[in-house]
Structure 1
């Protein structure tokens, strides 16, 4: 066999072996059981399932943000444009003087009850400055009957021009605050409804608890807003009146300038007698209470003083003869 033929046989043998090997691999791949998915497809399906579960749990906050993104609270300007009635709290203070403050205080209580109101506080006491009774009372009446109640309190005095000491009526417009609170309440209720929808679609316990806590916080804010609205409505329906009730002061009596000599003489005699009595009383007190002590102190001092004087005179007499004797001696 020559060399070219030998090379052709080797090439043929290699090609035949390669074809058989490829045919065997294809048959083993096709013989895989139908119940088992290919590794690549199984991995892809698992990845898709994992990605879906992750989006469902981890993006719950994003979902809430997306659901609440379309929610916009009502603005006060829009609420004001709805034609709401102005809400004004009326209040007043009045100071009066009457003959009997305690009786006037009872009448003010009756005025409060007659005008669909009640007494907030009240007290009757005696003034330290005038030693006369006074009273302070605060009442609330229906806002529609506020002017009527003020007029009835003014009617308690005898002379309105003099006995009504002061009066002040003022109002506080709370319309803007009321509108703001109503808008806030609507916004909170809308937010609560959105959160409840999100809670129904929550898939995990963690998401459910998170949304539940937010709903609890919103409920607390809703209750606070409702309480403030109720307080403003009650304040607008009832007006406050503070009443100070003083006693009418005693009239001041001014003495006349008439001159009466008899009264002057009588007053002078009385002053003379009173002065003499005071002098005699002082002298008696001096003799009885002070003089004994003075004698105890002064008498020894006088005796000592006299002894000192006598001693001085004796010393002078003894010194005089000695001087004379010295002068009589011859030089």
Structure 2
């Protein structure tokens, strides 16, 4: 009976030890799972922040001048010019120069000044008015470094101006006051120059210039082509050419005596030179 009791006791102790071992094994597994969950949560949060930084544009404070030129062919130069003026107003811009005329083809040269934020959009809108885009050129210039340098110089000059203004108030000698005033005027002149340069950078980076050239297409057939006009133009050119030829022949006829005299003198001099050379050889 004692043996049975001892065996049962040993079996109970082994059972308790095995349960304790399983609980110790399961506990680290749960800890590892929790740690991995925390790591994955942190990594997913970091990824979302990176995506947000990529999607949200960062203001780098750069100063870039963007300008361009565009050449088009249009069906009607008047309608196209009118639509360009409407587009410029809708994009908060203005026309700084305009030139229209006709030389073989009707044309219009227009200089547009638009905000840089609307520059590419107005180019796309203007190209929709054309039947052919002959040339498109966009060029940029980064003036960020020069802008920052000018801004720093301007700040230093303003501080210097303040110090000289204070010094001018404290001077008691007239000669010293004149010298300080002269230097102060020079500093203020440099400040005005630097401020003008800063304003130029701001204006040219916030606005873009587009040089637009439009020419009217010339179809071989259609309402815009007139056979009578073409024949009359050809006859007019033929008459003009005939007049030039006649003017040339009349000029030759009038100056023929002078040309004959010069030719005779040249021939006489040539003969004398030949005779002289022959005598020298003998």
> TM class, shorter-chain normalised?
0.5 to 0.7
1:156 shift after superposition? 0.4
CA distance in 2, matches of 1:145, 1:84: 20
Query: Secondary structure, in 3 states, of the residue corresponding to 2:191?
Result: helix
1:140 correspondence with 2:116: no
Q: Is the 8 A contact 1:109 1:139 kept in 2?
A: no
Which residue of the partner structure matches residue 212 of structure 2? 243
Q: Is the 8 A contact 1:102 1:133 kept in 2?
A: no
CA distance in 1, matches of 2:178, 2:209: 47
Which residue of the partner structure matches residue 183 of structure 1? 152
CA distance in 2, matches of 1:107, 1:88: 29
* Alignment map for 1:1-331 (pairs within 5 Å): 85-127=61-103, 130=104, 132-158=105-131, 163-251=132-220
CA distance in 1, matches of 2:93, 2:121: 12
1:183–1:171 Cα change, 3 Å: same
1:173 shift after superposition? 0.9
CA distance in 2, matches of 1:193, 1:201: 13
Instruction: State the TM-score, normalized to the length of structure 2.
Output: 0.55
CA distance in 2, matches of 1:135, 1:102: 9
CA distance in 1, matches of 2:88, 2:68: 14
Which residue of the partner structure matches residue 257 of structure 1? none
1:102 shift after superposition? 2.3
Structure 1 stretches lacking a partner, 5+ long: 1-82, 253-331
Q: Is the 8 A contact 1:117 1:141 kept in 2?
A: yes
RMSD over aligned CA atoms reads 1.5
CA distance in 2, matches of 1:242, 1:93: 5
How many residues align structurally? 163
1:84 shift after superposition? 5.3
Q: Is the 8 A contact 1:99 1:248 kept in 2?
A: yes
1:86 shift after superposition? 0.8
1:214 shift after superposition? 0.7
CA distance in 1, matches of 2:147, 2:84: 31
Instruction: State the TM-score, normalized to the length of structure 1.
Output: 0.47
Which residue of the partner structure matches residue 263 of structure 2? none
Query: Secondary structure, in 3 states, of the residue corresponding to 2:159?
Result: helix
Larger Rg over CA atoms: 1
CA distance in 2, matches of 1:187, 1:84: 23
Query: Secondary structure, in 3 states, of the residue corresponding to 1:216?
Result: helix
